[in-house]
């Protein structure tokens, strides 16, 4: 359950240079990615509606049409954009978010109520907390 932080001045967080840098970098990735996704998707829809001869043209092998290739490329494009976002989040957004949090809270590490797992690794806890009651 998320912990409430009534003692944090959220307007000061929003004005902090660390938070502004995080928002700027995130927006610089998300906006072009969204524009690319929408252009690719609606381009496919428009081609399917207005260029049926082109979309029905066989491509590479018998039975595989340009329309099928473009339709399947939608899935590939979605996975690639998701993978790119995860890499950017791990390498850019998460460190910036940690710096913004440290600037506001003055903490160098997550609190006890913070995440127990990070992507790919278990966060170590105190020995008493790890013990499983029998």
76-91 pLDDT tens trace: 999 999 999 999 999 9
Query: How many distinct structural domains can be found in the chain?
Result: 1
Please give the residue range of the domain that contains residue 85.
15-105
Residue 125 lies in a domain: no
Residue 50 lies in a domain: yes
Please enumerate in sequence order all residues whose Cβ is within 8 A of that of 101, keeping only pairs 6 or more positions apart, or say none. 107
Residue 132 lies in a domain: no
Residue 128 lies in a domain: no
Please report, to the nearest 10 degrees, the dihedral formed by the alpha carbons of residues 79, 80, 85, 86 taken in order.
70
Residue 8 lies in a domain: no
Residue 70 lies in a domain: yes
Residue with tokens 């660390």: 18
Q: Is 131 exposed, middle or buried, given 0-12, 13-18 or 19+ CB atoms closer than 10 A?
A: exposed
Residue 5 lies in a domain: no
pLDDT-based confidence at residue 23 (cuts at 50, 70, 90): very high
Residue 123 lies in a domain: no
Do residues 55 and 65 lie in contact, with contact meaning Cβ atoms separated by under 8 Å?
yes
Q: What share of the chain is helix, strand, coil (3-state, %, to 5)?
A: 65, 10, 25
pLDDT in tens, 62-121: 888 999 999 999 999 999 999 999 999 999 999 999 898 888 876 334 444 455 445 555
Judge if pTM exceeds 0.75.
no
Q: Give pLDDT, residue 4.
A: 67
């Amino acid at each position: 359950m998320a912990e409430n932080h009534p003692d944090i001045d959220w307007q000061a967080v929003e004005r902090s240079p660390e938070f502004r840098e995080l928002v700027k970098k995130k927006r610089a990735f998300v906006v072009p990615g969204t524009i690319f996704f929408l252009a690719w998707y609606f381009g496919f829809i428009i081609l399917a509606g207005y260029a049926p001869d082109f979309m029905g043209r066989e491509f590479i092998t018998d039975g595989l049409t340009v329309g099928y290739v473009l339709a399947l490329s939608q899935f590939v494009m979605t996975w690639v954009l998701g993978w790119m976002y995860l890499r950017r989040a791990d390498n850019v957004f998460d460190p910036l978010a940690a710096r913004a949090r440290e600037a506001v809270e003055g903490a160098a590490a997550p609190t006890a109520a913070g995440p127990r797992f990070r992507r790919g690794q278990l966060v170590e806890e105190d020995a008493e907390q790890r013990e499983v009651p029998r």
